[in-house]
Structure 1
């Protein structure tokens, strides 16, 4: 699926056997579904061969593929912060981290609404799930309310600020009369409120810059009946506005999930498409499952192209904002519909200032169980070490990989 069709027979045989190899993508044609990002091939790395058997895979993975541990719907299963939050803390910003999602309404991971704010697919720390915006409208209202031109929204923002100020002072007074555990609880609550107030002060100080980059969304993206393709387009605009304005330096975007019923697919726009049925090969509305998957993946690549192209147009330092950006597109549940976690393929777009030895390459790492095999944990360890967090390993180890050193970064991807 990710192999360039222009690879020769020898490379295709290596791919079939899942042998390790590396190819310069210069002069090669990308698979059709990846054609929207063909103009960014110099920034592109296709990375294959990472396993994730220490993760929850299959129909639903929750925050497992970002945290590299077994996870489920219970908060108690969250062992530590996911890698996106670790990165967000390396690059501090007023709101730290933004998460957007096209929520599932069915299956074992259902949310109550497509449009609200609900448990996301990232985690802030042990037993601390993050929350994601389900609709572009809600994300726009919440993230950019400090510079809203809507009088009601501005009034509410000011009321919220004053309420936080009052509660913070009240908790200070209350804490003076308490001792031990009760005082600790109140102090933690007060500190949380003060963290929000500190964030708001930073946002207020950036008001002019934020106002300049408020996304101007097409009204159809704000509609409660927005279809999936347009919901994803709207989220992409919010993502770009959040990054370019400086509200955040890290965004996690779950473009879909198995329990999300797709709408807006070209040719069958009015049909709700159950992606679980697609995973089992069902033809829907005259489109085969493979056609549906291909159309959806290609649409995702148009979003990636939109992000990269826009960031390449934004000046930053001596270059552009994209020079200092990395984008990862990957499945949350592994290689197939009923995955075993043997492979988590990645499409990586990285700017010129990336601190990894990547770009214009197809890389297949040693197969599962072979000497030199690498896991999701190794990949995230590589990224974190490259960007300043010196750790031996991120995530859980695979107890089934006997005799293979699973710790440390992937040395061939490290600079110098």
Structure 2
């Protein structure tokens, strides 16, 4: 909890800091990478830096955390913190790195806000930073302990045992630990980080959802290729598609992620778009294997049936459930596809049972639209769970 003195100072300065937080975040990253170029090369996603997505996510999270401290001092945004901590754990972030961030973030704040940063203001925002940082450090230490690894020691070498071309732009890689040791357990909906060495020597990292059965010794990731050859956003997916074959080895992290299927008999709604189907497939496989008896409604949107990765699995796993139904929307459907499911996903005509828990994964505009529709149908906000591929811009966009 923020001290009374700092609460008053943060409340008074929050409008000014909030208005400048984007500029602060941009300057922070420039200072950070000037001092530590290895972080941009081997830890931070160069695509997200180039697009500005990481800057937006950082700005949104700091503003949201500070607002929570002054407006709701008895609580903290645990959902947001958990999502960040899981991502950090999958990257192997450790406590000393928060000191590095603090140095360059506060240098950026001082430079952008100038004389407005009095000693009192600096002390108050320093308190905000360390409340957030220490909360994340504590969560990350717990996540490392749950995996039985030392802080930051999340990486193992895995061997590709098979590769399957799902669509023109999507490939599935099945992996096994190269050392023959047991694969770490994971929960349906979680992801791993995959690190590859690119042509320029950078070791870039991306996260991919696990789509295989949790009980198997194999781990399965399905990767959509980003085809813009000049964009750093897709440099890892292009590397995996063009260079990685059976017998190759990859550095893969322990599994993390907080979009995990809860143990409940409540009605479930599993909603995805595009490659966002991957965590949903893991959930469906788990539900089918466990003989789940509750109602499960599956919704997916894609450009076309041919572009719908793992389409057959999506339908077959739903069909194995005692009370499952699948509803697929396509912008460019095959002849005979229902007219009411042509175009973008629209839940207006879909019955959503009382007490439904919904799990969403896909592009952010899609999830915002679906979330709005579900709230209109009476789904409780606490029963709406989502995963964003890449920086979480939900908060940054209001």
TM-score for both structures, normalised by structure 2:
0.29
- Which structure has more relative contact order (CA 8 Å, sep 6+)? It is 1
Give the helix-richer structure, 1 or 2: 2
Question: More strand per residue: 1 or 2?
Answer: 2
